[in-house]
Amino acid sequence: MNLTHTKIQPFPHSPPLTHPTFLFSSRSLLPFPRNLKPAHVSPSFLYKKHTLLRYGCFGVSRSRTRSSISEVKAEQKQKPLLVKRAYPFDEIEPKWQRYWEQNRTFRTPNDVDTSKPKFYVLDMFPYPSGAGLHVGHPLGYTATDILARFKRMQGYNVLHPMGWDAFGLPAEQYAIETGTHPKLTTLRNINRFRSQLKSLGFSYDWEREISTIEPQYYKWTQWIFLQLLKRGLAYQAEVPVNWCPALGTVLANEEVVDGVSERGGHPVIRKPMRQWMLKITAYADRLLEDLDELDWPESIKEMQKNWIGRSEGAEVEFCVLDSDGRETDMKITIYTTRPDTIFGAMYLVVAPEYTLLSSIVSTEQRESVEEYQDIASRKSDLERTELQKEKTGVFSGCCAKNPTSGEPIPVWVADYVLGSYGTGAIMAVPAHDARDHQFASKFNIPIKWVVTPNNGSCFESGKAYSGEGIIVNSSNLKVGLDINGLSSKEAAYRVIEWAEKVGKGKKKVNYKLRDWLFARQRYWGEPIPVIFLEDSGESLPVLESELPLTLPELDDFTPSGTGEPPLSKAVSWVKTIDPSSGKPATRETNTMPQWAGSCWYYLRFMDPKNSNELVDKAKEKYWSPVDVYVGGAEHAVLHLLYSRFWHKVLYDIGVVSTKEPFKCVINQGIILGEVQYTACKDTDGNYISVDSADDLGEYLQENISEERVVKSGEFFVLKDSPNIRLIARAHKMSKSRGNVVNPDDVVSEYGADSLRLYEMFMGPFRDSKTWNTSGIEGVHRFLGRTWRLIVGSPLHHGAFKDGTLVTDEEPTMEQLRTLHKCIAKVTEEIEGTRFNTGISAMMEFINAAYKWDKQQKAIIEAFVLLLSPYAPHMAEEIWSRLGHPDSIAYEAFPKADPAYLKESTVVLPVQINGKTRGTIQVEKGCSEEDAFTLASQDEKLSKYLNGKPIKKRIFVPGKILNVVLDRQNVKAGSIQ
């Protein structure tokens, strides 16, 4: 999908690391009504630009300092590095990748097989950017691969596909700059991504690969558009759009940041244009309600809820008064969520773009109102609604009547009210709304308190009280309304009831969600399948039988500069004939936005080659929904909301069988660059501790290499001067910082299995973590140790022997116990997506196994099966060396036998004459005699027992052994 240039990009277009803050800037395009609470922006999703590491919680090793793998490479050229070939990964990995490809090992059969349960595990498919894979990509991909391999081994039919979200602005920009067709660039990038992914040994079914730019794929994207059109869910409207004169194109809300284009930083203005819109608002309630049944991170659900922004309130009519204070026919209908405060409404505010404004504004005020409207049109919604911003506004010159108090109140025009939300007009209650309070204070408008806090506290002057409470000053018997003494809730109910009775208002539900602007003035997107009759301008859908409507070839991709899309240059394509009437027509030249192709791709993977249907019914029924969907948190709102919307439409028309597309969504954390240490210095060049630097006011900073740093308690300090505390920071990876790690380098240095293992071992899957090259060496050493334990050390000339060292003997009880403990832990941790602790369990197993004289086949085979989802190449190699002709991929995953998991020994305290003299370790069912024998043989206890006459023994199985000596026969003082 083509999301590259946007700040909110589906999929690793811009990997989470490079665009961590987009979520909230994008929100700016929705109306931000006045009382938008901070909770609307969940802090857990605000990625920090960097993480300050004062506590060493990232387990940074200080063994060497490196900023990049290439530096490591340079170092290694100079010294023979033992760690490098801890095992022959460079032979094993390509060998097994070839094997999987030739044997179509991970192919999911085309026919539905209902005899087995299914597991559909999906990655958010990437935008194939020119930069190739980033280490952030394999984080999620390894996790899904472990799950896919694990479930296959547990007997599930697994669907684990990969494809490309391939329309996108970067290819188009590149085409403009160089004349290279975007298709060429995109295909080149796809090839690179594919081979990089293959080199990591992911078990994708490559036969199901799809790409959103292929006509066989976008035929169905266009088909979905036609279904939306048929149902009135796609329509055209003249809407103000973000027009960027420098780029010559309209931008999506999320592509505009602080009034400038996200790409290039060019000014953006609002301009009305004919656009295609999708009526996502028709699904607002269902999108909200169905969130409850999803196993998604609570934070994402919360963000979706806030994005949809359902609020319940009332619309109330205020009658406009003429200059003599008489009622006119004109009404201003306001939307409020606090009808209980209506007696405190001291003025009305209409948005500068309020449609009736010109008819109510007085002659004297017209000029200043128009001037104000002009200034407001150049501001973004976010700028207008920011709470901290000083409020601005102009008096309209007219008044309206508060229907409850009967008082005349002024009507103001102010840009803190948005035309696009509610009715575009509000009743302002300065005593109980912060923005109204600021505004009223600035313009000297009276303030009337109508709600007292429940706890009896007094109003704080100079501040609005926005909470609920008990109503005061709110009675007018002339209009038949008295809400004094009621709670806010009861009062709100009564006001609505009253308004409905007197015909002045009604209950109303509002949403912040807006319809989806579904057109872009760009070339590299799906053509919208609509034609316009030349004579009448009527729009007609392209016939389904004519799909796909393919994108015409173009040599000149530059935007026209007038807002006319580049496709208008394909003159012979644009000119067409309406097949039913034979009349001349022209084609729609807008294309679909980058989100379109990614809205439904998960369905196509179920049946990628079907030319008759979007997806076969039986296949969809079997595979739906996606069981686990892994990707970046930056897609918490738009991609996930848009695809849920399309899915619900497809559900309504019977194309899909489930209400929701993704049962479980998991966001992987971001990977930050290596930790960088900085020391502070005073102006004389002496080091000073970071905690005292602030007192100095002026100080210098110096980067410190890792060798000069040690950890002291929670802090990092200079090795030579431990009283000098340092700043330790991990920054997001970026080209400009030069801290980007290329997965290709890691693979050639340590192998794909080490990279996979490391990415999983870095920390909890969902957390952000810092990259650390010594960490890869650690997991690489673990794989080397595993290899040597099972296969043996390399021969003196460096080659590795064939076969393995394992024996056919029966395993001992201790070995079985160690193994089954490991099986239980690894299984539990994969199921809980705690991959890092699963690896720790395997490391513990290998440490234990090194203490054994022999490695029995039964034990080692089970261990290799456990290892295989994580390090599949090594596992396949050992498996085959153990004599198995087939791939390990479909072998049964070991099951822990509870019998071996029970703790079998207990520590038994031994008392002699009532005093505890030591402990012995005994089998759980151990007899009194055996316990006594063990105690007599114990080094510490034997001196109390051996040769001593015994009066009696008291033995409580599993609890205690008490030996009472015959004191008369013991020489005094010998034992006490």
Site residues (CB under 6 A) for ligand ANZ?
Answer: 33-35, 311, 335-338, 341, 417-418, 421-422, 424, 426-427, 429, 432-433, 466, 510
Residue closer to ligand ANZ, measured from CB, 471 or 531:
471
Residue closer to ligand ANZ, measured from CB, 495 or 549:
495
Asked if 668 and 662 count as a contact pair (C-beta separation under 8 A), the reply is: no
Counting every residue, how long is the chain?
Answer: 976
At position 523, the amino acid (one-letter code) is Y
CB of 495 to ligand ANZ, least distance (A): 11
For residue 961, the SS3 value is strand
Residue closer to ligand ANZ, measured from CB, 32 or 167:
32
For residue 959, the SS3 value is coil
Q: List phi, psi (to 5°) of 475.
A: -145, 135
Contacts of 265 (CB under 8 A, 6+ apart): none
**Do strands 960-965 and 905-912 pair parallel, antiparallel, or not at all (unpaired)?**
parallel
Residue closer to ligand ANZ, measured from CB, 61 or 333:
333
What residues does 249 pair with on adjacent strands? 244
Contacts of 871 (CB under 8 A, 6+ apart): 753, 756, 757, 783
CB of 413 to ligand ANZ, least distance (A): 12
Query: Is the link from the previous residue into 12 a cis peptide, with omega within 30 of 0?
Result: no
Residue closer to ligand ANZ, measured from CB, 429 or 641:
429
Asked if 262 and 380 count as a contact pair (C-beta separation under 8 A), the reply is: no
Contacts of 713 (CB under 8 A, 6+ apart): none
Q: List phi, psi (to 5°) of 631.
A: -175, -175
Residue closer to ligand ANZ, measured from CB, 337 or 610:
337
CB of 309 to ligand ANZ, least distance (A): 6
CA-based torsion, 196, 201, 206, 209: positive or negative: negative
CA-based torsion, 327, 332, 333, 336: positive or negative: negative
C-alpha separations of 606 from 162, 600, 622 in Å: 12, 11, 9
CB of 410 to ligand ANZ, least distance (A): 16
Residue closer to ligand ANZ, measured from CB, 195 or 484:
484
CB of 84 to ligand ANZ, least distance (A): 60
Residue closer to ligand ANZ, measured from CB, 440 or 606:
440
CB of 450 to ligand ANZ, least distance (A): 9
The number of beta carbons lying within 10 Å of the beta carbon of residue 737 is 12
CB of 487 to ligand ANZ, least distance (A): 15
Residue of 784, 761, 840 lying closest to 142 (CA atoms): 761
CB of 519 to ligand ANZ, least distance (A): 25
For residue 241, the SS3 value is strand
CB of 415 to ligand ANZ, least distance (A): 9
**Do strands 425-428 and 249-251 pair parallel, antiparallel, or not at all (unpaired)?**
unpaired
From CA 291, how far away is CA 287, in angstroms rounded?
A: 7
CB of 439 to ligand ANZ, least distance (A): 12
Written as six digits, the tokens of 136 are 């952030």
User: Each residue of 930-965: b (16+ CB within 10 Å) or e?
Assistant: ebbebbbebeebeebbeebeeeeeebeeeeebbbeb
CB of 724 to ligand ANZ, least distance (A): 51
Task: Look up residue 417 and give its DSSP letter.
Answer: S
Residue closer to ligand ANZ, measured from CB, 417 or 746:
417
Residue closer to ligand ANZ, measured from CB, 417 or 871:
417
Residue closer to ligand ANZ, measured from CB, 34 or 219:
34
From CA 123, how far away is CA 667, in angstroms rounded?
A: 10
CB of 496 to ligand ANZ, least distance (A): 13
Asked if 865 and 884 count as a contact pair (C-beta separation under 8 A), the reply is: no
Residue closer to ligand ANZ, measured from CB, 426 or 776:
426
Residue closer to ligand ANZ, measured from CB, 419 or 527:
419
Task: Look up residue 707 and give its DSSP letter.
Answer: G
Residue of 639, 574, 22, 561 lying closest to 250 (CA atoms): 561
From CA 190, how far away is CA 132, in angstroms rounded?
A: 9
CB of 478 to ligand ANZ, least distance (A): 23
